[in-house]
Amino acid sequence: LQWKVRRTLAFSIHELAVILGDQLTAADLVPIFNGFLKDLDEVRIGVLKHLHDFLKLLHIDKRREYLYQLQEFLVTDNSRNWRFRAELAEQLILLLELYSPRDVYDYLRPIALNLCADKVSSVRWISYKLVSEMVKKLHTATPPTFGVDLINELVENFGRCPKWSGRQAFVFVCQTVIEDDCLPMDQFAVHLMPHLLTLANDRVPNVRVLLAKTLRQTLLEKEYFLASASCHQEAVEQTIMALQMDRDSDVKCSEHSFLNILRPTGTVVSFLLLPEPGLTALHQSGTAVGGPPPASSLAGASCLLPFPVVLRVERK
């Protein structure tokens, strides 16, 4: 058959599998499917786009046979074909539900970590979502050993990566984990947050800017980190203070703007202004109940004061 015909079949073989059922699919369609896996990229993409749709129709034993072949999707005829790798990341997110935590850790984890370091940002973005969902699945498994091991690997490979892009990827992964609630916040605070906050001292401004945005837009949105009873609040406050005192203007702007989001109903905000040497210390407190603080509050003055502001937020 010509490749264009094979391509059409590759895009529709999962529909045939639904009609034929699992027994006939295993006997008649699986050999054809296996042939498409070794075909041209133009044919393989059809199989890849519906990989989850096809594999979910197979018996678990037959499905596990394809774990050994998933790695082959990282190799393409044209290395510039980044959309192939992006589609692989999308499909792996769906495949997480089809395999056991052990299989996910042994076979899908290496592929996911590889994709997180891809040269193309679009591939990396999807891969951060993949890794965060993987953390969620493995951490909820019993026992959660695989989840802890994956987190440790993320810290070692990305959080402590000698390349700034790797450390930036670590912040993105943490951001996604928080946004999608892939870990209970108390577990995030134990396993990931200490390594995340150390990046406030990173030598690359882009990493510190991203950290400031993550704290402002993601971490501080969580009730756990706003509660005064949280034992981790002090560490977050100290990091905020360090970022406000950053020597890079972009980092300062990113962190100063976080004052604008701390205006929830029924929130008490304490302002502690830490002056630079030679300036007089100033301490004020304000209460925002039922809406934003008054115009005279320090939220509006933050752009005028030449020294950093540390806030303590308490829910009533």
Structural tokens at position 186:
């108390």
pLDDT band at 14 (very low <50, low <70, confident <90, very high): very high
Top pLDDT among 316 and 184 is at: 184
Dihedral angle of Cα 5, 10, 15, 16, to the nearest 10 degrees:
70
Cα first-last separation, the chain: 71
Q: What is the average pLDDT across 170-199?
A: 95
- The residue ranges of every structural domain in the chain are 1-68
For 98-134, how does the pLDDT look when each residue is reduced to its tens digit (9 = 90+)? Answer: 999 999 999 999 999 999 999 999 999 999 999 999 9
Tokens linked to 50: 């519906």
Whether the per-residue pLDDT at 296 is higher than 90: the answer is no
Q: How far, in Å, are 13, 179, 230, 237, 259 from residue 233 at the CA level? A: 53, 18, 6, 6, 16
Task: Classify residue 310 as exposed, middle or buried by CB count within 10 Å of its CB (0-12, 13-18, 19+).
Answer: middle
pLDDT in tens, 215-235: 988 998 888 887 756 677 788
pLDDT at 13: 95
- What confidence tens digit (pLDDT) does each residue in 74-105 have? 998 888 899 999 999 999 999 999 999 999 99
**Is the distance from CB of 287 to CB of 298 less than 8 angstroms?**
no
Residue bearing the bigger pLDDT, 9 or 247:
9
